[in-house]
Amino acid sequence: MTSLANAGVPAGATGRTPEEAYVRFRSALVEARLLVETGVDGLYVRSGAFEDVVAGIDRRVSAAATEASGRYYFPLVVPRRLLEQTGYLASFPNLTGTVVSFEAGPAAHPAFVEAVEAGREWADRLQVTDLALCSAGCHPLYPSLTGRLESELQVEAFGQIFRHEPSIDPARMQAFRQHEVVYVGTADGALAHRDRWVGRAGELLGSLGLVVEPVVANDPFFGRAGGLLAASQRDEGLKIELTATVASAERPTAIASANCHRDHFGEAFSIALTDGTPAHSACVGFGVERIALALLSAHGLDTARWPADVREQLGL
């Protein structure tokens, strides 16, 4: 089995562009049958060996989330209205996905089938439903919190995410999962949650043998106003990413991030503290596929040969 680490070739070895490193690492993952290609960049079938690593990461995150009072597993799709309420459409229209289906009735069916069978475009004959693909791990949580919060709240949120950004970088998947720990409560509490989890996530990932670095970052806001939004997010230090080498050492990958939202979601979903002011929120998000890929890059593609303590921590 191909193993970058065992072959003595560090991932992202110098002399390669990041793009060359992406292609090389993706080919190695596919050759090792950890990921199976689908013909669409950023969409993969995952092997049992890969999923065993993901399950181990999830268990480690849950074990560290000692203050969380519950776990919520969100479906792949959300009410389409959620994209409006969160502001996602304004900031990331290019990353969204909505669900369309055939609603034109039996009379339109023969022409539709004819178009499909003739190899003509058929998607424009479908109608937009009231569903969209989930945009972020914590977004589906907020509608359930509308009203007065009796006390601050911490929960784990498991999201199945879609981002429309086809890429040759195996770490930039179009369909992936986020394991989040979300705080909703006071302004000070939200900042404390963000900061506590920068340290805690760094320790957790470091204990698995990853070298991670906290970096002040910004979301890829779209459009003319996007640059300003990104700059203010950076200036305020609201988003801190933990980066590690996956395919390219030259261009590290964010494998987890800790985000403070201020009162954005409290306002948008009318979540109020007992004094009537909008609640603040913060989340830490673990990109479980990216962490699995970082581990495969660091320890080699054969998980049976990973360091014993890493295997033990992940229950492998």
Q: Which of 68, 264, 267 is nearest to 152 (CA)?
A: 68
Q: How far is the CB of 106 from Zn ion (least distance, A)?
A: 43
If the CB atoms of residues 84 and 309 are measured against Zn ion, the closer one turns out to be 84
From residue 27 to residue 46, the character string flagging contacts with Zn ion as x (rule: CB under 5 A) and all else as - is: --------------------
Q: What angle do CA 180, 182, 186 make, to 5 degrees?
A: 160
- Binding Zn ion by CB under 5 A: which of 29, 82, 138, 244? 138
From residue 251 to residue 290, the character string flagging contacts with Zn ion as x (rule: CB under 5 A) and all else as - is: --------------------------------x-------
Q: How far is the CB of 159 from Zn ion (least distance, A)?
A: 8
Q: Sign of the C-alpha dihedral, residues 14, 17, 21, 27?
A: negative
Distance CA 204, CA 176 (A): 21
From residue 161 to residue 200, the character string flagging contacts with Zn ion as x (rule: CB under 5 A) and all else as - is: -------------------x--------------------
In one-letter notation, the amino acid at residue 245 is T
Taking contact as CB under 5 A, which single stretch among the options 133-141, 205-213, 227-235, 247-255 is the one that binds Zn ion?
A: 133-141
Distance CA 145, CA 141 (A): 7
Q: How far is the CB of 275 from Zn ion (least distance, A)?
A: 25
Q: Does 131 bind Zn ion (CB under 5 A)?
A: no
- Segment (H or E) for 29: helix 18-31
If the CB atoms of residues 129 and 144 are measured against Zn ion, the closer one turns out to be 144
Distance CA 167, CA 142 (A): 30
Taking contact as CB under 5 A, which single stretch among the options 138-146, 205-213, 235-243, 304-312 is the one that binds Zn ion?
A: 138-146
Q: Which of 64, 61, 65 is nearest to 291 (CA)?
A: 61
> What angle, 0 to 180 degrees and rounded to 10, lies between the N-to-C axes of helices 18-31 and 288-299?
90
Residues of this chain that interact with Zn ion (CB under 5 A) are: 138, 180, 283
